[in-house]
Each structure stands twice: as C-alpha cells, then as structure tokens.
C-alpha cells in the first residue's frame, strides 16, 4: 500500500504555490504571506535623535563640567520631537531638545536635563559628556537599502510594525487559498434540524471547515451533499478552476454508497491514489480534475480528522508557502500503554507537554469524535510495533 510520505509527495506535486498577489492595507495583512521584499527606503531613525530630554551640545564644550564647576552655554533654540531645526550648534552653544527630537548640526552629544539648571536663554551644565554619548545615530535601527522583510514571510505584528516604520501603507501579499469542503453521506443531517431515525449529525463538514478556519484559511465554499454522484460531480465541475483544493469526506470505501469512486469516474478526473498505509483513514482517495486537486477523506470522524492533519496540511503548506501548515514532529515519552495488531501505521489522539505524551482517555475508534477535544497531537505507532509501552519514545505530530 502507498506510504503516507509518498502520498504527501504525490499530493504536493499537484499544487503550485499561489503566486497571485493583492495589495492590502497594512493592518489587514496580519497573518498573511508577504509577496514583496520589504526594503528600507530611508534610514531609521532618519536623523541623529535625542534619546532623552536635555541640551544638545558639543562634547568638547562640557569638558571638566561638574556641579561645583558648571559650564555656561548659550541656548540658541528649542526642538520638540517632530520639529526640524536649521541652525547649527557652535562653540559654547546649546539647543534645548526633547526625547525624539533631531540632534542639530554641530552638536555631538546630549546633556540630560537633570544635569543642568534647565536654563532657557543660558544654561548651566553640571556634567561633562564625551561626543556621541546620549546620542542615537541616524540609521541606528536600520539603514536605507536594508532588507527588513523577506518575500514569503508571515506578516505578524512585528513585521507589520516594521513595515509601518518604513512608511508602507499597504503591502503586497499572496491571495488567500480558495478551499472547498464537501461532506457526503445520506445519513448526515445539518445541525439544528431534528434528527430522524437512522441519521446522525454532520460533524465532518464542521471539523474540516473549523480546522481550516482555526489555522487561518476559512473555506470559500462548504456544503453537505447526499449520496448522489451525478449531482456531486456537477458541483465539483463548477468548483474546479475556482478553487485551489477540494476536500471531501465520506464515500471512499468499497460499499455501494461509496460514491466518490463514481464521482471521479463521472468527472473523468485523473485518480492519483486510493488507499494509504495509515490507520485510521486508509481509504483516502485523491484525484485531479482540470488542475484542481481533490482529496477525499474517509467519513469516519477521527479518520477525517487525522488525515486532514497528515495529508491535507502539507498540501496547504505548499499552496500557501506558509510553514505554519506543516505539522511539527517531535519525540516524546509515552505515559500510557497501548496495544494494537502489527501491520498498520496507527495514529492515536494524545496530549503532549514537556516531552511527555498521554493518549486521550476514552474511545480511540475512528468513528469516535469526542476525545478529539483536548487532544493536541497525534501519536504514531509504527507498523512493526504491537503497540507501545509507557516510557517508550514515540513520534508525536503536534496539531
């Protein structure tokens, strides 16, 4: 049977990273992937800046100054932050200035106001200062031409603020991925509608849409579909080309109502694979129709959940260029025993913390959903293992 890593490679080959861009206001870019380089157009700060409230002077004029031996300087101006000053500080002159104000030409240091008599026309300086003490250099944070933001990086709060500091009002980001999610199955009822005999509520649609939204990609289309292959094929025909990826749940096994095989046939879509060596979720089916990848997950809730993490997320990572979609794998010490028959590569729900991992209490069946709440990882038990014992090291896939 196809190995999971092979399946991931086959799926990733079918998608190309989104390259269409959009220009959006800076704050709307939070969480998006930058499509441009962020190169500084000016030094930051753009001028030598005072780091405190005080007097801009020539250091040499303060030599030997002290409380007992003040230096008297002539105050030739006053600069608040945000103001420009065209004068020049000459010998035995000073300019009163506030934090953030530009240090005027001629001056090479700033005397803290607490070390003066706060004079307005003349000022007594009580401390000497060396040139470039209390002096914030032009370009100290960054210099014009520096690449501060890289194409392909996530625009987080820090990146947004750095872009603002460069004067960028808008940035170019890659467009959002367009994902369609379809749950199939005659047995599924939309939440909110009274349940008839033999029916259950549709949780898969909410699981896949919910996880996508949680990870930053609200689907552009989501719908439940009954087991009617013709109608569903027609719907997928309409969605292809308008979406980057279609994820379905249900109908992938071998029964009469496992309609996804028929849907693929009706579409004359190119089947990539059916069945992957992963439990739960082995019958995952994948196809390409008119360039749009279709990943058909099992209808068992935990099988759909696990294969979303294992197979769909790497595809989202390739598509968006956003590494956060890639599931991080770590080694952790199992705190719970578990046994299984050899032969299958099993993924279990668990909770990992500080290098330890506990299997979720309760039902591990692929049809059981509720123990997914509170789980934060999948625990892998390899095919050649008949389970795993407490204190054994296992691979853990952090969700």
Count interface residues toward a copy of itself (CB under 8 A). 97
Of 71, 115, 112, the C-alpha closest to 93 is: 71
Q: 167: burial class by Cβ within 10 Å (0-12, 13-18, 19+)?
A: exposed
Nearer CB in complex with a copy of itself: 193/326: 193
CA distance 251 to 348: 23
Out of 177, 280, 301, 314, the only residue in the binding site for a copy of itself (CB under 8 A) is 301
CA distances from 281 to 91, 267, 346 (A): 81, 23, 10
What DSSP state is assigned to residue 243?
B
State yes or no: residue 163 binds a copy of itself (CB under 8 A).
yes
State yes or no: residue 98 binds a copy of itself (CB under 8 A).
yes
Nearer CB in complex with a copy of itself: 60/253: 253
State yes or no: residue 17 binds a copy of itself (CB under 8 A).
no
260-267 vs 229-239: helix crossing angle, rounded to 10 = 60
Considering the complex, what minimum distance in angstroms separates the CB of residue 275 from a copy of itself?
A: 15
Classify each residue of 245-281 as buried b or exposed e, where b means 16 or more C-beta atoms within 10 Å of its C-beta.
Answer: bbbbbbbbbeeebbbbbbbbebbebeebebebbbbbb
State yes or no: residue 49 binds a copy of itself (CB under 8 A).
yes
State yes or no: residue 352 binds a copy of itself (CB under 8 A).
no
From the list 124-132, 197-205, 259-267, 379-387, the region that binds a copy of itself by CB under 8 A is 197-205
Which long-range CB contacts under 8 A does 329-332 form with residues at least 24 apart?
A: 329/395, 329/396, 329/397, 329/398, 330/355, 330/395, 330/396, 330/398, 331/355, 331/393, 331/394, 331/395, 331/396, 332/356, 332/357, 332/393, 332/394, 332/396
State yes or no: residue 388 binds a copy of itself (CB under 8 A).
no
From the list 63-71, 122-130, 182-190, 311-319, the region that binds a copy of itself by CB under 8 A is 182-190
4-13 vs 313-320: helix crossing angle, rounded to 10 = 30
State yes or no: residue 68 binds a copy of itself (CB under 8 A).
no
Considering only residues 77 to 96 of the shown chain, the ones binding a copy of itself according to CB under 8 A are: 79-85
State yes or no: residue 144 binds a copy of itself (CB under 8 A).
no
Nearer CB in complex with a copy of itself: 154/267: 154
Of 3, 4, 2, the C-alpha closest to 397 is: 4
Out of 237, 257, 275, 324, the only residue in the binding site for a copy of itself (CB under 8 A) is 257
What DSSP state is assigned to residue 310?
I
State yes or no: residue 187 binds a copy of itself (CB under 8 A).
yes
Considering only residues 99 to 118 of the shown chain, the ones binding a copy of itself according to CB under 8 A are: 99-102, 113
Out of 17, 365, 382, 386, the only residue in the binding site for a copy of itself (CB under 8 A) is 365
Nearer CB in complex with a copy of itself: 227/380: 227
Cβ proximity of 52 and 134 under 8 Å? yes
State yes or no: residue 119 binds a copy of itself (CB under 8 A).
no
State yes or no: residue 195 binds a copy of itself (CB under 8 A).
yes
From the list 11-19, 184-192, 229-237, 311-319, the region that binds a copy of itself by CB under 8 A is 184-192
State yes or no: residue 395 binds a copy of itself (CB under 8 A).
no
């Amino acid at each position: 049977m196809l190995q999971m890593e092979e399946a991931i490679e086959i799926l990733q080959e079918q998608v190309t990273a989104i390259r269409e861009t959009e220009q959006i206001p800076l704050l709307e870019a939070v969480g998006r992937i930058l499509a441009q380089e962020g190169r500084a157009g000016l030094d930051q700060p753009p001028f030598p800046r005072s780091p405190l409230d005080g007097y801009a002077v020539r250091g040499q004029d303060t030599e030997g100054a002290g409380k007992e031996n003040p230096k008297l300087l002539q105050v030739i101006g006053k600069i608040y932050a945000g103001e420009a000053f065209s004068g020049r500080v000459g010998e035995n002159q000073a300019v009163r200035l506030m934090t953030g104000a530009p240090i005027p030409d001629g001056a090479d240091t700033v005397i803290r106001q607490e070390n003066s008599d706060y004079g307005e026309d003349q000022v007594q300086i009580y401390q000497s200062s060396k040139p470039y003490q209390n002096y914030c250099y032009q370009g100290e944070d960054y210099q014009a031409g520096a690449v501060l933001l890289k194409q392909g990086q996530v625009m987080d709060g820090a990146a947004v603020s750095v872009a603002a500091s460069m004067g960028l009002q808008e940035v170019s980001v890659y467009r959002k991925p367009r994902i369609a999610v379809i749950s199939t199955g005659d047995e599924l009822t939309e939440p909110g509608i009274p349940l008839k005999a033999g029916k259950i509520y549709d949780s898969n649609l909410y699981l896949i849409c919910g996880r996508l939204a949680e990870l930053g990609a609200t689907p552009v289309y989501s719908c439940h579909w009954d087991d009617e292959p013709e109608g569903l094929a027609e719907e997928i025909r309409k969605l292809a080309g308008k979406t980057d990826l279609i994820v379905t749940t249900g109908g992938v096994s071998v029964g009469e109502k496992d309609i996804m095989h028929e849907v693929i046939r009706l579409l004359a879509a190119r089947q990539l694979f059916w069945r992957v060596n992963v439990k739960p979720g082995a019958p995952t089916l994948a196809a390409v129709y008119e360039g749009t990848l279709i990943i058909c997950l099992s209808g068992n809730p935990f099988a759909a959940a696990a294969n979303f993490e294992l197979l769909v997320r790497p595809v989202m990572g390739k598509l968006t260029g956003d590494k956060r979609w890639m599931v991080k794998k770590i080694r952790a010490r199992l705190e719970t025993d578990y046994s299984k028959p050899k032969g299958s590569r099993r993924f279990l729900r668990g909770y990992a913390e500080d290098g330890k991992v506990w299997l979720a209490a309760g039902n591990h069946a692929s049809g059981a959903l509720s123990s997914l709440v509170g789980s934060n990882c999948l625990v892998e038990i390899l095919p050649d293992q008949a389970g795993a014992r407490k204190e054994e090291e296992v691979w853990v896939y952090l969700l």
